[in-house]
Amino acid sequence: MSRFFSQKYSSLVPYTPGEQPKDTQYIKLNTNESPFSPSKTAQLYATKAAQNLQLYSDPECRELIKLAANRFSVNEDEILFTNGSDEVLNFAFMAFCDKNTPAIFPDITYGFYTVFAQINNIPYKQIPLNDDFTICIDDYKNADGTIFIANPNAPTGIALTVEQIEEIIKSNPDNVVVIDEAYVDFGADSVVPLTKKYDNLLVTQTFSKSRSLAGGRLGFGIGNKKLIQDLNTIKYSTNPYNVNSLTMAAGVGTLIDDEYCMDNCKTIIENREWTVTKLKELGFTMTDSSANFVFAKHHTAHGKDIYLKLKEKGVLVRYFDKEKLYDYNRITIGSKEQMNILIEKIQEVLEELK
Ligand code: PMP
């Protein structure tokens, strides 16, 4: 830390992203990326957009919003695009929390929530999950702050039903409820339709996982137009051009090829079911995942040993050096070929760890 670093950030603990090694050709199953390339139209549109990079991007993201509003059956003023969904989440912390309105979220969830709270100087309350890693919805009823729930949750992959989320929203008419649907396309039900009914619901989604655009950084929020106006106030006060033109064009192409993306999700779900069966045969137990990853624990081998040995063999999975999570690995579901190699390498690792 330099002697110039602002005192207000001196105790900030930044988010640790998953490893992105460039040295070896790893089978990368550690950051929940898609194994599939972006859609052809996305690639074509981004290439074309490169010819006009001398111009600023459209701060209103008009073309993108028009297509997305149609895709998600909402009005154009009920949606906002951001630089990954991390940005819309950060905007939500900035817009809907303050020292009297804490952020409330599970103790085991997306690790960035605590960082967003800390950097914005927002108090936060972490509610323990049940022992089986499920969320107890009663804990979130009549809350005294802004609620953030990832659905499906990370790193467990466990999803709440629409009815359960509606109960939470209903019991919090004076609190904003943010539902982070980064992984919703892999088997959970979206609560986007509830944004018509409740003015306190903000839903966030991303193009990073189900739409193969992690490197493009494109996310969005859907909610009542007044919530979206608030988020736009934050956006226009920080970076009006938050979505660059290459990404915006890729996003448009991606929505045009929506069927391609949704077909890829079906493949991932099939690969997940296959992987779950194979891992069970090898002595793993897993949470019931509705995401593009599984959260797996072996009955004898330790999570960290499995992670390290798999890395030696060129397969990267995510290990969280954190209480309650020590025994587990979060494994991204990739292509069938990648999953075959994973299972083969895990078999070798388990032999070596015997
Ligand atoms: N929410 C959850 C639960 C996530 O796991 C992630 C991915 N790290 C994000 C949001 C943010 O994703 P992105 O910024 O790529 O849209």
Report the C-alpha gap between 151 and 157 in whole angstroms. Answer: 8
Q: Dump pLDDT digits (tens) for 97-151.
A: 999 999 999 999 999 999 999 999 999 999 999 999 999 999 999 999 999 999 9
Confidence of residue 159 (pLDDT cuts 50, 70, 90): very high
Instruction: Indicate where the chain has its CATH 3.40.640.10 domain(s).
Output: 41-257
Residue 335 carries which side chain, given as an amino acid letter? S
CATH class of this structure's domain 41-257: alpha beta
- The pLDDT tens digits for 235-263 are 999 999 999 999 999 999 999 999 999 99
Mean pLDDT of 29-41: 97
Distance 81 CA to ligand 1 centre (A): 14
Work out the pLDDT band at 25, boundaries 50, 70, 90.
Answer: confident
Quick one: pLDDT at residue 22? 78
pLDDT at 354: 87
Start-to-end CA distance of the chain, whole Å, equals 44
Axis-axis angle for helices 258-281, 336-353 (nearest 10): 20
| pTM: predicted TM-score of the whole model, two decimal places | 0.97
Task: Give the Cα separation of 257 and 221 in Å (integer).
Answer: 20
Q: Assign domain 7-36+259-352 to a CATH class.
A: alpha beta
Given the CA of residue 17, which atom of ligand 1 is nearest to it?
Answer: 8
Q: Where are the domain boundaries for CATH 3.90.1150.10 in the chain?
A: 7-36+259-352
pLDDT of residue 17: 87
* Conformational region of residue 168, where left means phi above 0, alpha means psi within -120 to 50, and beta covers everything else: alpha
Pocket (CB within 6 angstroms of ligand 1): 84-86, 110, 150, 154, 180, 182, 206, 208, 214, 219
Q: What is the DSSP string of 56-122?
A: PP-TT-HHHHHHHHHHTT--GGGEEEESHHHHHHHHHHHHH-BTTB-EEEESSS-THHHHHHHHTT-
pLDDT at 350 exceeding the cut of 90 = yes
